[in-house]
Amino acid sequence: MTRPNATLVLADGTTFEGYAGGYLPENGTTSGEFVFNTALSGYQEVITDPSYAGQIIAFTYPHIGNYGVTPLDDESSRPWCHGVVVRELSEVASNWRSVGTLEDFLVVHRIPVMLGVDTRRLTRHLRAHGALPGAFGHVSPKDVDAAARVAVGTDGQDLVTMVSTTERYRRGDGDLHVVAFDYGIKSAMVDQLARRFTLSVVPSDTSADQVRELGPDGVFLSNGPGDPAALAGNVAVIEQLVGTVPIFGICLGHQLLASALGATTFKLPFGHHGSNHPVQDLVSGKIEITAQNHNYAVTPDSLDRAVVSHVNLNDGVIEGASSIEERCFSVQYHPEAGPGPHDARYLFDRFEHLLRDGALEVR
């Protein structure tokens, strides 16, 4: 297959060469914040994770697309990322579950891809200089450079409103009722919660009074994209709910709950994006292999009304917080994912125990 030449330019002027694939935008370029993901598989789940809104995903694994795509692996109704960068994009899909190629999937969903890129060099650059805005495209390098100069990152951006559901919907038929705030909730998380509870998924801008009107036994705060510091309104709602109903948060939901409990957040240099992050439970001492996707984290020593429950063994980042008094807890990673394969599933048991017994159980 003959492909157009393409150029990738980061905001600091660093340039990469390759070829254009997937959807070819009419203006010839796509821009966003470049981050790298270290997962060896699960590319469809990564691409359809709403937490990547506003970003361009560079896969560190060199061969992407070899087992095709299936609707069963979609984490949302469509990809929210701005683009994908790979070393090699497989043109052959070999898997009994596959209904098509990854490139066809990207074309349907209007997601540009750049291939033939030295992703090892790109990853090393982002590790050294942090996640950077930039652009890639199949127009002249001068035009791509111009697009990179005006590209923006995720700092200060509310991307949640864009990815959240606009209508409340219900799943499951359990005897306990959980209201889940959709900040960018993944389908796998909806499935896990619906196996245990009657689940009402509500828009991100739902008020505390509207939540109370639903009469929940507990509240869940989902993952999502963007800067938690830009979501003061969402934090204010959580502040009104803390202490009145049990709460469980993950990823962005963890950051928002921590903010409601007095903490601050900061941006990591290049974030945690992958399926192999070791996390230690500080109570039990056990190690979990976790899937993660976040650019922001809770600032150390900033929690006023909670204690740190989990830490990342790679860099010491806070990976969990809990408050027995407020009946709430949260983790920075994704317990619905299966990298360990199910190291973190006990957190759903902990949430159910909290709802049934009214007390936060720590193992």
Crossing angle for the helix pair 232-241 and 252-260, to the nearest 10 degrees: 70
State the catalytic residue, choosing from 33, 326, 334, 352.
Answer: 334
User: Among 83, 79, 69, which Cα is nearest to 109's?
Assistant: 79
336 flagged as catalytic: yes
**DSSP letter for each residue of 227-242:** -GGG-HHHHHHHHHHT
Quick count: other Cβ atoms within 10 Å of Cβ 175? 10
CB 68 within 8 A of CB 102: yes
Contacts 24+ apart (CB under 8 A), 74-78: 74/44, 74/45, 74/48, 74/187, 75/45, 75/48, 75/49, 75/50, 75/186, 75/187, 75/188, 76/48, 76/49, 76/50, 76/163, 76/184, 76/186, 76/187, 78/48, 78/109
81 flagged as catalytic: no
Is 61 exposed, middle or buried, given 0-12, 13-18 or 19+ CB atoms closer than 10 A?
middle
CB 23 within 8 A of CB 109: yes
Lay out the sheet containing 265-281: strands in order across.
169-171, 198-203, 177-182, 218-221, 247-250, 328-331, 318-323, 307-312, 265-281, 287-298
CA–CA separation, 115 and 107 (whole Å): 14
State the catalytic residue, choosing from 103, 251, 254, 352.
Answer: 251
CA–CA separation, 46 and 79 (whole Å): 9
CB 19 within 8 A of CB 3: yes
334 flagged as catalytic: yes
CB 288 within 8 A of CB 313: no
DSSP state for residue 323 in the 8-state scheme: E
State the catalytic residue, choosing from 288, 319, 326, 336.
Answer: 336
The residues assigned a catalytic role are 251, 334, 336
